[in-house]
Amino acid sequence: MGEATERYAVVTGANKGIGLEIVRQLASAGIKVVLTARNEERGLQALQTLQASGLSHLVLFHQLDVADATSAASLAHFIKSKFGKLDILAISEDDGRKGITQTYELAKECLQINYYGAKITIESLMPLLQLSDSPRIVNVSSFMGQLESFTKGSWARGVFSDVDNLSEEKVDEILKEFLRDFQEGSFESKGWPRYPSAYIVSKAAMNAYTRILAKKYPSFCINSVCPGYVKTQLTANTGFLTAEEGAASPVRLALLPNGSPSGLFYSQSDVASF
């Protein structure tokens, strides 16, 4: 592949599970991939595993804490100096387990990683994606983030459903209200999802952000996807799909041709309702 046609990708939360498999599949398709992980030691171990499988020329590692703007800026500088542009950004889960345990501090951290961390990373890398002739953003989400998880008639469901007026400010308002109600112990009575509430709200926010971004950047292809119930550490290996099978749908979206639909939520390979 000539230098002019070389494509570059970043995958977050990629030291294990679906994220690691997304890296493997993108690299196997000939794309140069930067594997990122919050824990440098685990990230380097994942890199060594991929290098041992014959992908050493296509995979690099860079540490990334998605919730840290300085860390995201460091990654952006690395990509700019190394490649000059970015074609694909896949936001995989970093540690969704923090949203499973129902405490206020872990709920707050879950939103910080799954939603705000994704935003920080996307915003830091957006200038490099704008230099691509085929920019792709794939947000790994969950069927739990669909609006049917919220009580019918609830305020948050109404705001999320109002697509024409959806904005980042309104999503921020929803998350602040959720944390306030969570802390006060009134989140169930106000129509918020029950269990795992923070995880569900974070994924609903990610789906909403996907729509907002797609509208803001019409030349991009930006979608979110539920990879299915995958056997990973997050599911305590109780899923039905392998990590390889789970990664197939995010990778397919990352490789869509120009002119493909944007701003959608997929359940594996099928378009689903938000």
Quick check: is 199 catalytic?
A: yes
Sole residue written with tokens 């019918």: 152
Per the residue annotation, which of 8, 104, 195, 199 is the catalytic one? 199
Enumerate long-range contacts of 81-85, CB under 8 Å, 24 or more apart: 83/6, 83/8, 83/32, 83/128, 84/128, 84/131, 85/8, 85/128, 85/129, 85/131, 85/132
The answer to whether residues 11 and 39 touch, using CB atoms and an 8 Å cutoff, is no
**d(Cα 146, Cα 271) in Å, to the nearest integer?**
12
Side-chain-facing half-sphere of 52: CA atoms under 13 Å: 6
CA distances to 136, 142, 173 from 33, rounded to whole Å, are 14, 24, 35
* Residues catalogued as catalytic: 199
